[in-house]
A = this chain, B = another copy of it.
Amino acid sequence: MASLRNSFLEKLGKITKEKETLLCVGLDPALPAQRSKNVMSSDDRLEFMRRIILYVAPYTSAIKMNRQYVIGLTIDEIRQLNILVHQNNMLSIIDHKLGDIGSSNSSAVFWFKEEGFDAFTYNPFSGNVLEATKAAHSKELGIIVLTLMSNPEAHFQKTAIFNEKPLFHHITSLCNEAESDAVVIGATDNIVSKDVSEIRNILKHEAYALVPGIGAQGGNAKKILYHFGEKTLVNVGRSIIYSDFPEARAKEFQDKLNNQLKEVKAVKESLTTSSV
């Protein structure tokens, strides 16, 4: 395995172990003009983001910014935010859902690097998972591929059939072949333990799962923790960043995830023992 590939995953493994947290905070700053609830109290996206980064840092391994909320920020503004993220011993993921032809993907990867991110999310609908993973690793960036998503409207990822298997098997196989760094698996009820187990089995390498759908979307991370163990990064956004006490909420999620990890490990061990 190339050492470049592991740059993001090695750093992530080190940080999650040191800080004892599998929490990733989704930093999605919404203006009051955008919607009626879950909004910032002012129009200053940068100030809001800086404040949340500092609040959650002790309990958090990674910050995930969704591109749909940071459109219009300059390269330098985002770079300054990412410097703050790194100074506080966290990694930074741009949730861009990139998915384009090769030359356009390369352009995006160029700008992600300029912005100071460590990894980005990738949407496999346009194909090019292998090529995009290569482009990411050539810049020492991690790539996190949407595989089985949290919103029920994405059900065809499971019900569409490709080569006699569900579509998400095909996508996972591409991630396996490319040695992509992580897969996105939703925590909501439409995704069950068997799905997660199938994904884990197709991946021959030490990939992570990035898990959205906790908090506002009402999902549960246990089924992912059961199969991916410490190699799980759980994203929580709105329920932390728009809380009156983001610091306390982050700590709560850190503890909850650590307890859930302990629980599922105990269950796994008891299963192993009883089968001997």
Q: Which residues of chain A have a CB within 8 Å of any CB of chain B? A: 28, 30-31, 33-35, 38, 66-69, 71-72, 74-75, 78, 97-108, 110-111, 114-115, 123-129, 131, 146, 149-157, 159-162, 167, 170, 217, 238
Number of copies of this chain that the complex holds: 2
Please determine whether A127 and B156 come into contact, CB atoms closer than 8 angstroms: yes
| Closest-CB distance, A169 to chain B (whole angstroms) | 11
In the complex, chain B residues whose CB is within 8 Å of the CB of A162: 156, 159-161
The answer to whether B72 touches A111, judged by C-beta atoms less than 8 angstroms apart, is yes
Distance in angstroms from A128 CB to nearest chain B CB is 5
Contact of A69 among B33, B78, B104 (CB under 8 A): B104
With contacts A127-B154, A157-B125, A160-B162 taken as known, whether A103 is within 8 angstroms of B71 at the C-beta atoms is: no
Task: Output the least CB separation between A187 and chain B (Å).
Answer: 13
Please report the C-alpha to C-alpha distance between residue A31 and residue B153 in the assembled complex, in whole angstroms. Answer: 38
Q: Which residue of B lies closest to A166 (CB)?
A: B160
**Given A31-B110, A68-B98, A103-B238, 17 new contacts (CB under 8 A):** A28-B107, A30-B103, A34-B110, A68-B108, A69-B107, A71-B75, A71-B111, A72-B115, A101-B217, A123-B126, A126-B149, A126-B154, A127-B149, A127-B155, A131-B153, A160-B160, A161-B162
**Cβ contacts under 8 Å, A157 to chain B:** 125
The docked-state distance in angstroms from the alpha carbon of A215 to that of B162 is 31
| Contact of A99 (CB < 8 Å), options: B28, B104, B123 | B123
Across the interface, which residues of B come within 8 angstroms of A238, CB to CB? 103
A99 x B99 contact (CB < 8 A): yes
User: A101 to chain B: closest CB distance in Å?
Assistant: 5
**Do A100 and B68 touch (CB < 8 A)?**
yes
Instruction: Enumerate chain B residues within 8 angstroms of A110, measured Cβ to Cβ.
Output: 31, 33-34
The docked-state distance in angstroms from the alpha carbon of A102 to that of B125 is: 18
Of chain B, the residue at the smallest CB distance from A101 is B151
Closest to A174 in B: B153
| Contact call B101/A100, Cβ cutoff below 8 A | no
Q: Are A72 and B114 in contact (CB under 8 A)?
A: yes
Q: How far is the CB of A85 from chain B (nearest CB, A)?
A: 18
**19 A–B contacts, CB within 8 A, in A order:** A28-B104, A35-B106, A68-B107, A69-B104, A71-B115, A72-B74, A72-B111, A97-B99, A123-B123, A126-B154, A127-B151, A127-B152, A127-B154, A127-B155, A127-B156, A131-B153, A156-B167, A160-B160, A161-B162
